[in-house]
């Protein structure tokens, strides 16, 4: 019996910890990191998608649900699941998502906050002119076929090699800015062509460029290691692989739906899959990695244009990178399952990898603190910088990526008038620039859960620790 046909509710295991035990076709349980308040607003579609993910072949341990989870396509947003590396394991394009490699990059500046306040409108206008945004936002960069291939193979390293950034940026980027194993040959011509005119663009939806101020420090030692201080001006970029990643997902979701093994139907068409050992599975893995490199190169290029803009306005300023982390990925990793170390392919959709201090894959740069975890909020509230904690072992070394939607985009448009939203943000001291006030309403604060409560919940479970809270001053939207 399909889990959809059963009245399934999570059972409390501990404070902020819940479990859905296997029923019907579920192969493993679902472990949910959430407060009682967050559980109370979790919709039935999210529950269904979690239990469907737990019904896939080769799934190991348990399916993990982050406190910011909400329904999506395939996996819900905020879902983590690991699959066995052997012949029983699978990979699902719907378990990674359409915006492959979408993530957040945070830059730190030495610009006095008073100067940013005084020139807020000028800064907002300059960034809005410099950074293409929106569905029709077109890049200033012209790329030929060979350059596109290089970007898909090299990621952010390509941008740095071509003068767009500094080598230190790569040290402060997940995978050092380049995901190994990418193969542009597995990316369709249409997907590659969609990168033309899109490298260095924000896109639309929940993507943004924010100028922020650090309004509180919660871990002084970690903040000092990260280079954070109260009243510091920071810059956060939330974007992904644009049309290229979307087309990769579209191509392979369709291919997986058409090539499911005989006698092994997907529990839901949105979670069509391919065996990891199959030709289709290997090709998607290589294409997905190329999509991740596209996203890393995109954020690197945007960061370069942001730096150029600030240097024109503040010629003596210094801008360094804190970190860049993606949250729609699949990684080959080792995890302890029922007391045994196992090689898994971990799908994270709307969740970031969170490696604590001492983890073998972390590297020396953040070993003293744990990996930075960048949690994006809605444009009218706040964002958080966390660091991974040892409790993340229980979440397959994963943490939440944001606040999580509370209302659908259609519901938000019905409840929020664009003009009143713009007025409210202006009254709150936030300068917003957008190509579409109508679409801005979809991203109104009322459409999202309380990011402070979501962050409190994540940290209370032990998967991360608070380092700093950031408040928006300027927001550029598509």
Measured at the CA of 100, the angle between CA 98 and CA 103, to 5 degrees, comes to 120
SS3 213: strand
Q: What pLDDT is attached to residue 286?
A: 98
SS3 68: strand
Spatial distance between the Cα atoms of 259 and 255, rounded to a whole number of angstroms: 6
Structure tokens at 414: 């019905």
The strand pairing partners of 106, in sequence order, are 236, 323
- Give catalytic residues, as residue numbers: 401
Regarding the domain delimited by 3-477, which CATH topology (the fold level of the hierarchy) does it fall under?
tRNA-splicing ligase RtcB (3.90.1860)
The pTM score is 0.95
Spatial distance between the Cα atoms of 163 and 196, rounded to a whole number of angstroms: 19
Spatial distance between the Cα atoms of 461 and 18, rounded to a whole number of angstroms: 11
Q: What pLDDT is attached to residue 263?
A: 65
Whether the Cβ atoms of residue 260 and residue 104 lie closer than 8 Å to each other: no
Give binding residues as ranges: 99, 206-210, 238, 327-328, 376-379, 383, 401-404, 477
Phi, psi angles (nearest 5°) of residue 82: -105, 140
Whether the Cβ atoms of residue 60 and residue 337 lie closer than 8 Å to each other: yes
Q: What is the DSSP letter of 448?
A: B
pLDDT by 10s per residue, the chain, length 478: 455 546 788 999 999 999 999 999 999 999 999 999 999 999 999 999 999 999 999 999 999 999 999 999 999 999 999 999 988 899 999 999 999 999 999 999 999 999 999 999 999 999 999 998 755 556 678 899 999 999 999 999 999 999 999 999 999 999 999 999 999 999 999 999 999 889 999 988 889 999 999 999 999 999 999 999 999 999 999 999 999 999 999 999 999 999 986 666 777 889 999 999 999 999 999 999 999 999 999 999 999 999 999 999 999 999 999 999 999 999 999 999 989 999 999 999 999 999 999 998 998 999 999 999 999 988 889 999 999 999 999 999 999 999 999 999 899 999 999 899 999 999 999 999 988 888 888 989 999 999 999 999 999 999 999 999 999 999 998 7
Give binding residues for GMP as ranges: 206-210, 327-328, 376-379, 383, 401-404, 477
Q: What pLDDT is attached to residue 269?
A: 86
Spatial distance between the Cα atoms of 56 and 345, rounded to a whole number of angstroms: 13
Residues, the chain, total? 478
Measured at the CA of 448, the angle between CA 429 and CA 307, to 5 degrees, comes to 50
Q: What pLDDT is attached to residue 1?
A: 43
Give domain limits for the chain: 3-477
CB-based burial, 353-383: b 16+ in 10 Å, e otherwise: bbbbbebeebeeebeebbbbbbbbbbbbbbb
Give binding residues for Mn(2+) as ranges: 99, 207, 238, 327
Spatial distance between the Cα atoms of 317 and 410, rounded to a whole number of angstroms: 42
Whether the Cβ atoms of residue 392 and residue 373 lie closer than 8 Å to each other: no
């Amino acid at each position: 019996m399909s889990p959809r046909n059963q009245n399934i509710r999570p059972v409390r295991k501990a404070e902020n910890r819940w479990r859905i035990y296997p029923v019907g076709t579920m192969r493993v349980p679902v472990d949910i990191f959430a407060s009682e308040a967050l559980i109370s607003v979790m919709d039935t579609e999210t529950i269904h998608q979690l239990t469907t993910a737990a019904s896939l072949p080769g799934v190991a341990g348990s399916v993990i649900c982050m406190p910011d989870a909400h329904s999506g396509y395939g996996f819900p947003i905020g879902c983590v699941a690991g699959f066995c590396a052997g012949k029983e394991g699978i990979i699902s394009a719907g378990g990674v998502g359409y915006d492959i490699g979408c993530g957040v990059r945070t830059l730190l500046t030495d610009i006095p906050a008073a100067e940013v306040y005084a020139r807020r409108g000028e800064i907002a206008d300059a960034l809005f002119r410099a950074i293409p945004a929106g569905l029709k936002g077109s890049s200033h960069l012209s790329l030929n076929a060979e350059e596109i291939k290089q970007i898909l193979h090299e990621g952010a390293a390509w941008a740095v090699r071509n003068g767009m950034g500094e080598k230190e940026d790569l040290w402060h980027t997940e995978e050092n800015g380049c995901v190994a194993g990418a193969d542009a040959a597995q990316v369709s011509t249409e997907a590659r062509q969609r990168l033309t005119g899109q490298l260095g663009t924000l896109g639309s939806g929940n993507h943004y460029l924010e100028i922020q101020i650090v309004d509180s420090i919660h871990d002084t030692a970690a903040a000092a290691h990260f280079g954070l201080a109260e009243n510091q001006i920071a810059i956060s970029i939330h974007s992904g692989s644009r049309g290229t990643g979307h087309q990769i997902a579209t191509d392979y979701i369709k291919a997986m739906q058409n090539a499911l093994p005989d006698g092994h139907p997907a529990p839901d068409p949105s979670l069509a899959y391919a065996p990891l050992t199959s030709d289709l599975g290997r090709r998607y893995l290589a294409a997905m990695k190329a999509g991740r490199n596209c996203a890393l190169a995109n954020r690197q290029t945007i960061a370069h244009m942001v730096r150029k803009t600030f240097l024109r306005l503040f010629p003596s300023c210094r801008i360094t990178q804190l970190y860049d982390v993606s949250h729609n990925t699949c990684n080959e990793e080792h995890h302890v399952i029922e007391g045994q170390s196992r090689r898994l392919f971990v799908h994270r959709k709307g969740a970031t990898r969170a490696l604590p201090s001492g983890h073998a894959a972390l590297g020396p740069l953040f070993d003293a603190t744990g990996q930075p975890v960048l949690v994006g909020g809605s444009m009218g509230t706040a964002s958080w910088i966390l660091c991974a904690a040892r409790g993340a072992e229980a979440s397959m070394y994963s943490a939440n990526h944001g606040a999580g939607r509370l209302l659908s985009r259609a519901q938000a448009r019905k409840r929020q008038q664009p003009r009143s939203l713009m007025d409210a943000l202006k009254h709150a001291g936030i300068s917003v620039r957008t190509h579409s006030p109508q679409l801005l309403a979809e991203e109104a604060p009322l459409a999202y859960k309380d990011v402070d409560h979501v962050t409190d919940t994540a940290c209370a479970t032990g998967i991360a620790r608070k380092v700093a809270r950031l408040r928006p001053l300027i927001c550029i939207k598509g």
